[in-house]
Amino acid sequence: MGRGDKRSKKGKINRGSYGKTRLKAKAVSKAKKKTA
């Protein structure tokens, strides 16, 4: 875990990538609507 870990949120921010742990803003709002 940490900035070097590509699977963690910090690692994704450091790499500039997105995934399950760090969703893009548009994807987050869509996911929240489905669960609510």
Q: What is the pTM of this model?
A: 0.45
Contact 11, 5 (CB under 8 A): yes
Predicted local distance difference test score (pLDDT) of residue 34:
56
Predicted local distance difference test score (pLDDT) of residue 10:
87
**Which sequence spans correspond to the domains of the chain?**
1-36
CA dihedral 20, 13, 36, 30 (to 10 degrees): -80
Question: Over the stretch 1-36, which tens digit does the pLDDT of each residue have?
Answer: 777 787 788 888 888 887 887 788 776 666 566 555
Predicted local distance difference test score (pLDDT) of residue 9:
85
